[in-house]
Chain A
Amino acid sequence: MKEIDVFRQWNRKRHEYATAWQKRTGGKVMGYFCTYVPEEILHAAGVLPVRVLGSHEPQNVTEPHIFAMFCPFCRDCLAQGLKGRYKYLDGLMIAQSCLHIRQAYTSWIKHVPVGFSYYLCMPHKVQSRRAYPYLRGELEAFRKAVEGWTGKQISDKALREAIAVYNENRRLMRELYDTRKQAEPPVSGEEVMEISLAQQMVDKREHNEALRKLLAALPRRKRDRPAGTRLMIIGSEDDDIDFLHMVESLNKEQYPATFVVDEHCTGSRYFWNDVPEDKDALMALSRRYIERPPCPTKDWEERKRIPHIMKLARDFGAQGAIVMQQKFCDPHELDTVAIRKELEKQGIKTLFLEFDVTVPIGQFRIRVEAFLETLKQEDLF
């Protein structure tokens, strides 16, 4: 479908897109790790934020810089930097989330210097009322730093416009997700992953435009296979399109299955909540990032992710859940136990998988097929 191909192209040719954007607009490109980065401020300064992701290829360059028990994702990201795949970046930044990805950031700026780098101290204890003014202060400092770097004032008006563009993007994405609530969703999980990955690396105005076209075309679309078992996928960073592709292209008579919703930082966690109305634009941003569906590193003392996950599962009619995580991701590993317990309690069976830089498709296929078979047996007896 050509309305989806455009996202696929953006995602697959991410570097070409960014360099072309740079050339066309003369603007700066900022690479970022982690979805706690307040992109609105960058957008308001005319900067293109581009999320750094891995390439899912084996490599041999990160061993001196990253501990062996750090997750494969941070390793894969750093490898991209060391191999010069992001040479075009004008800046690189991170908002505090976990130690592993921060190590990737620190090693990167040390060994592949960029013109501007920024560490944004996103508070960990988001469940504290002090987090709001604290983050507001951090955002103010960040705004000043970006102004210094770009030589451009970021007016409140520009900030509000950026927030509007981003909120519209979030709204359109939720609208796209809503179509997946249908008995026969018009889009596959794999396709949605391409769309949400593209969302994190292209100009939001272009992404909005493409989303509007897609949403207009979707009502006429019929997929060539039945939705089958409705699956949810939950976990850490996940841009493993090959895995989703494998699950959704299993024998459609025997094991039809479709991902109908996700809870990933490369998926719904990235865009789920809007920036609220607030006279103070920075406070509005602060509220948005503090109240968003949390990463497990920030989800304490109360575990707020679980009710959110359960609501998604219910709203989208998930019949089974694949709970995945990057190998060695301790925060997710801790959450996994509680998440699976709650899902199973609600009658949603789970399959747990650990992801690495490359996914062992054959081994995972065996597990997924067996998992789908057990779900089917539930229906029979």
Chain B
Amino acid sequence: MAVITAGIDMGAKTIKVVLLEDGQKVRARAMELGGTDTRAAGERAFNAALFQAGLRMAEVAHVTATGAGRASAPFAKDSVTEVGAGARGAIFLHPAARTVIDVGAEEGKTLRCDGRGKVIDFAVNEKCAAGAGSFMESMARALEVKLEELGPLALKSGNTIPMNAQCAVFAESEVVTLVHQKHTKEDIAKAVHDAIADRITSMVRKVGFENDVVLIGGVSKNPAFVETMRRNLQTAVNVLPDPEYVGALGAAIVAAENAGVK
């Protein structure tokens, strides 16, 4: 009989659940906004995934949690760090991956791993969210565009405006200054992407990178960010399918191992 395991990624902004069959096949996945009651949001995400797969909770052999809020994850028997889960999930989807760049809502991470998904080295952004997704959200707000429009907007610009995004709050007022100086939205959007990609690139260089380089986390759905990373690193950068679920997938793989699935 098939063994079902689950990974739940209690992210800073959203909660992701992946159900895995025999450690091999993704049966379902679901996402919920974390909000203030993350445990309840976790349960909702879990139920949504179970519903999709036509399964009951009792049929799930093992749940492993990951993510910044993993301590409050519902149903979880154990947990794995975001770094560990990211590596496992990335290797599962892209076995040649040796460098994994994970940019979520509040954190940017880079890790290097071996072919089995064992982490060799990693770096996480320092203290603030300036190099991460919530930064992009506030920048989109300042520019009065939808988050998903920000990337395509930036791709239209061929200009470079230096911007010092050390801090998300200050960067927002820097954007306001650029608006006052009558720079176009396209150029400002590009400056925002350049700033974020520079910060992430700095971190990647600190860890050192080896091909293949893969991108995971919600921010990798932004085409301008991906393009800037490609340009900065001068190498192919692979965006994994459904990049925001890779952490949860990694946790589900760890759950399968812990449940004794070979």
Contacts and interface: CB of A to CB of B under 8 A. Distances in A.
B206 A58 contact: no
B126 interface: yes
Nearest to B165: A58
Contacts of B173: 360, 362-363
Interface residues of A, number: 17
A280 to B, nearest CB: 48
Interface stretch (A27-35, A59-67, A194-202, A303-311): A59-67
Interface string A335-370: 000000000000000000000111011110000000
Contacts, number: 50
Contacts of A58: 162-165, 194-195, 198
Interface string A104-133: 000000000000000000000000000000
A378 interface: no
Interface string A228-244: 00000000000000000
A58 B165 CA distance: 9
A61 B198 CA distance: 9
Contacts of B211: none
Contacts of B202: 60-63
Contact of A64 (B180, B197, B199, B208): B208
A218 B165 CA distance: 41
B162 A362 contact: no
A62 B170 CA distance: 22
A60 B232 contact: yes
Contacts of B165: 58
Interface string B168-206: 001001101100110000000000001101110111011
Given A360-B177, A362-B174, A57 B162 contact: yes
A56 interface: yes
B166 interface: yes
B132 to A, nearest CB: 16
A310 B176 CA distance: 38
B126 A60 contact: no
B205 A61 contact: yes
B170 A357 contact: no
B111 to A, nearest CB: 15
Consensus secondary structure, chain A interface: loop
B interface bracket (residues with beta carbon within 8 Å of A): 20 to 34
Contacts of A68: 126
Among A57, A60, A61, A357, the one with the most B-chain Cβ atoms within 10 Å of its Cβ is A60
Contacts of A60: 197-199, 201-202, 205, 232
B166 A356 contact: yes
Among B177, B180, B194, the one with the most A-chain Cβ atoms within 10 Å of its Cβ is B177
Given A68-B126, A358-B163, A363-B170, A59 B208 contact: no
21 contacts: A58-B162, A58-B164, A59-B198, A60-B197, A60-B198, A60-B202, A61-B202, A62-B202, A64-B206, A356-B166, A357-B164, A358-B163, A360-B174, A360-B177, A361-B177, A362-B173, A362-B176, A362-B177, A363-B170, A363-B173, A363-B174
Given A60-B197, A357-B164, 9 more contacts: A58-B194, A60-B202, A362-B174, A362-B176, A362-B177, A363-B170, A363-B173, A363-B174, A363-B177
Interface of B: 126, 162-166, 170, 173-174, 176-177, 180-181, 194-195, 197-199, 201-203, 205-206, 208, 232
